[in-house]
Amino acid sequence: MQFRDLKAQYTQYKSAIDDSIQNVLNSGQYIGGKSVNELEKELAEYVGVKHCITCANGTDALSLVLMAWDVKEGDAVFVPDFTFFSTGEVVSFNGATPVFVDVDEKTFNIDPEKLTESINKVKQEGSLNLKVVIPVDLFGLPANYDEIEKIAQKYDLLVLEDGAQGFGGNINGKMACSFGDAATTSFFPAKPLGCYGDGGAIFTDSDETAELLRSYKVHGKGNNKYDNVRIGVNSRLDTLQAAILQVKLKAFIEHELDGVNSAYQIYNEKLQNIVETPFIPEGYYSSFAQYTIKLESKEQRDALQAKLKENDIPSMIYYTKPMHRQQAFTDLLFEDGDFAVTNKLCDIVLSLPMHPYLKEEEVTKVCDVIQKFMSV
Q: List residues near ligand PLP by CB under 6 A.
A: 57-59, 83-84, 86-87, 136, 162, 164-165, 186, 188, 198, 200
- Contact call for residues 129 and 74 (beta carbons, < 8 A): yes
- Residue with Cβ nearer ligand PLP (162 or 181): 162
3-state secondary structure of 160: strand
- By beta-carbon distance, which residue lies closest to ligand PLP? 58
* Nearest partner of 316 among 354, 275, 365, judged by Cα: 354
- Residue with Cβ nearer ligand PLP (112 or 135): 135
- Residue with Cβ nearer ligand PLP (158 or 363): 158
Distance from C-alpha of 201 to C-alpha of 211, rounded to nearest angstrom: 14
Q: What's the closest the beta carbon of residue 163 comes to ligand PLP, in angstroms?
A: 8
Q: What's the closest the beta carbon of residue 273 comes to ligand PLP, in angstroms?
A: 30
- Residue with Cβ nearer ligand PLP (140 or 363): 140
Q: What's the closest the beta carbon of residue 321 comes to ligand PLP, in angstroms?
A: 14
Q: What's the closest the beta carbon of residue 199 comes to ligand PLP, in angstroms?
A: 7
Q: What's the closest the beta carbon of residue 187 comes to ligand PLP, in angstroms?
A: 7
Q: What's the closest the beta carbon of residue 373 comes to ligand PLP, in angstroms?
A: 28
Distance from C-alpha of 163 to C-alpha of 226, rounded to nearest angstrom: 32
Alpha helices per DSSP H over the chain: 6-27, 34-47, 58-68, 86-93, 112-125, 145-155, 207-216, 239-251, 257-271, 298-310, 340-348, 360-375
- Residue with Cβ nearer ligand PLP (63 or 275): 63
- Contact call for residues 139 and 165 (beta carbons, < 8 A): yes
* Nearest partner of 131 among 159, 108, 111, 151, judged by Cα: 159
Residue type at 11 in one-letter notation? T
- Contact call for residues 210 and 217 (beta carbons, < 8 A): no
- Residue with Cβ nearer ligand PLP (166 or 232): 166
Residue 119's CB is within 10 A of a number of other CB atoms, namely 21
